[in-house]
Structure 1
Amino acid sequence: MDIRFLTTFIEVANTRHFGKAAENLYLTQSAVSARIKLLEEYFHSTLFIRQRNSIQLTQSGEKLLPYAQQLCSTLNEAKQELQIQSSEYVVCGATQLASELILPSTLKALHADFPDWSVKAEVLTLDSLSRQLHERVTDLAFSTEPLKSEEVNSQILLEKPLALYRVGDAQAEVSASDFVAIDFGSKARDILLTLYPQLRDAKLRTNSLTLALNNLYAEGGIAVLPEDAFVHLPAQTPITKIQSLENISLKVYLHTMKQVRRVGLQGLIDGISSINPA
């Protein structure tokens, strides 16, 4: 059985509310409900009485709660103890765009400046990134969007202006049939649509800058890109700036928990901050 089912059960028992438990655990309410259902199937017993404005523990739920709390506490203590004894590793998580923009240089710097550390890196959705950071599964989190949490320190590692470009033969018309839409966030999209409402549609939508650039190089087209995007295209590729997007930039954030419990991790975080100045 997944230990996270028990932590979800404890959170629902504490909040007496599926929605609040989901918010505290950085999960959807349906995910919380699914975990509780699986837990009830595992124990062959109903754990909560679900009423319209009240969620109460059943007698079985009351009996399970102290065991769940004790088990979770013991496992967390064991995890921390093992991490203290084997602290020379770091787990990096990043959203798709952030992984393409910052992870290669960050990993290179980590290997050069912290050669004794083993590194694990993976690409995650923003929700998974936030959840794993709060669960301390991930040590360093990188994203192009801020995380709204009082428990997290966030800093900008990279910031680049955005502009609308045409790759390939210059044409006068800005058309949706040539548009490659990269997900730079709702603010960039709203400003672009104010300037070019015809770009509400696109021939390709993606959260990958690499995929977008490959498509633009192969087929030509228009896209919102960082202002140094030409360096990522093969030499001699024709690229023309159509218009800068005022007051909009692409940002990459580094997120870490405010309370760092791992031995040596704070020094590594400080090192990453200096390696990639904003």
Structure 2
Amino acid sequence: MDIRFLSTFLEVANTRHFGKAADNLYLTQSAVSARIKLLEEYFDVELFVRHRNSIQLTVAGERLIPFAQQLSENLQEAKKALAKTAITTIHCACTPNAYFTPVGQAIANLGNHIHDISVRNDLANIELISRQLHDHTIDIGFTTEPLKLDNVESIKLFELPLALFGHQHEQAERQYIHIEWNQKISDAVFKSCPEFKQSTLKTSSASIGLDQLLSHPNSCAILPKNIVSGNSTLSHKVGNLVQIESTFDVSLSVFLSVMQGIPQSEIEQITNYFKQIIP
């Protein structure tokens, strides 16, 4: 027997009205009637006497009330006890270049800052992230461009200044590796430095761009300014890179996106977490 049948019985007993009980339980009146009928069949007794304008409890119905109340209270206590030990899984998805920023490390540390959650994180393009948010297959998306979609709220977490980097030793002419952070940044760079349009390599992945830069001493690429500081998890592998003077001034924005109206306290905790730890 479904324990919810007893909750329905108690609501009908309290309201003495199938329609009011249905409204209070967010059910149809026929669903309430069906539950009461099944409950009566289970106990093989009549629980209510149905008059034209009123509903009265039978003797059996009166006797069932304390048992139904006790079972409902026990169920609520069980829910509370289980909730204390339950682990909520938060599903995140990042575009590759959003993950390349401090967001990646922040996601890795998320479980250490918010108790009783498990984090699943995947890489995806912006189109897939948009679709997954709408389908509720992910809870949060991280992108380097805002998602302009109905019912999706995109919150700017931070702006990350970018700069041109190359190896420490001087070169007469450096080969430019173009990382496609987003169209706005590419346009600004090519306007200031038209020669960069003839880049030796173009890639949409900052990780690939960095690997190519580290592999080719006579090259340069646009990367986050903090990449050579202790604030970056990549600092240990880019110690030989130095910032090169350039004429452009660009920054990369990173956005956190969630579906509007999701009443999940974990989502609010996570949003606040990222706002606080990422400068």
Residue 223 of structure 1 corresponds to: 221
Change (3 A) 1:168 1:213: farther
Q: Is the 8 A contact 2:177 2:199 kept in 1?
A: yes
Residue 259 of structure 2 corresponds to: 257
Q: Does 1:171 align with 2:168?
A: no
Residue 149 of structure 1 corresponds to: 149
Give the CA deviation at 1:130: 0.7
What is the TM-score of this pair, normalised by structure 2? Answer: 0.61
Give 1 or 2 for the bigger CA radius of gyration: 2
> Residue type matched to 1:265 in 2?
E
- Which structure 2 segments of 5+ residues have no match? 1-82
CA distance in 1, matches of 2:268, 2:241: 44
Change (3 A) 1:270 1:197: closer
Q: Is the 8 A contact 1:88 1:117 kept in 2?
A: yes
Q: Is the 8 A contact 2:164 2:222 kept in 1?
A: yes
CA distance in 2, matches of 1:266, 1:236: 37
Residue 269 of structure 1 corresponds to: 270
Cα-to-partner distance string for 1:142-167 (whole Å, 9 max, x where unaligned): 01111112412212223111222332
Q: Is the 8 A contact 2:87 2:116 kept in 1?
A: no
Cα-to-partner distance string for 1:155-192 (whole Å, 9 max, x where unaligned): 22231112223324323445xxx111111111111121
CA distance in 2, matches of 1:118, 1:219: 39
Residue 187 of structure 1 corresponds to: 184
CA distance in 2, matches of 1:226, 1:104: 14
What is the TM-score of this pair, normalised by structure 1? Answer: 0.61
> Residue type matched to 2:213 in 1?
L
Cα-to-partner distance string for 1:214-246 (whole Å, 9 max, x where unaligned): 221221211112222223353651424221522
Q: Is the 8 A contact 1:182 1:209 kept in 2?
A: yes
* Aligned counterparts, 1:1-278, within 5 A: 88-173=88-173, 178-220=175-217, 221-231=219-229, 232-233=234-235, 234=237, 236-246=239-249, 248-262=250-264, 264-277=265-278
Moved more, 134-143 or 268-277: 268-277
Q: Is the 8 A contact 2:177 2:221 kept in 1?
A: yes
Change (3 A) 1:241 1:90: same
> Residue type matched to 1:149 in 2?
L
> Residue type matched to 2:117 in 1?
W
RMSD: 2.4
1:251 aligned counterpart, secondary structure: strand
1:243 aligned counterpart, secondary structure: coil
% identical equivalent positions: 25
Change (3 A) 1:259 1:144: same
CA distance in 1, matches of 2:251, 2:205: 17
CA distance in 2, matches of 1:195, 1:270: 36
Change (3 A) 1:229 1:245: farther
CA distance in 2, matches of 1:258, 1:250: 24
1:228 aligned counterpart, secondary structure: helix
Q: Is the 8 A contact 1:163 1:244 kept in 2?
A: no
CA distance in 2, matches of 1:209, 1:147: 20
**Count of residue pairs brought into register by the alignment:** 189
Change (3 A) 1:87 1:258: farther
Q: Is the 8 A contact 2:165 2:241 kept in 1?
A: no
CA distance in 2, matches of 1:243, 1:252: 23
Q: Is the 8 A contact 1:162 1:245 kept in 2?
A: no
> Residue type matched to 2:209 in 1?
A
**Runs of 4+ residues over 6 Å off in structure 1:** none
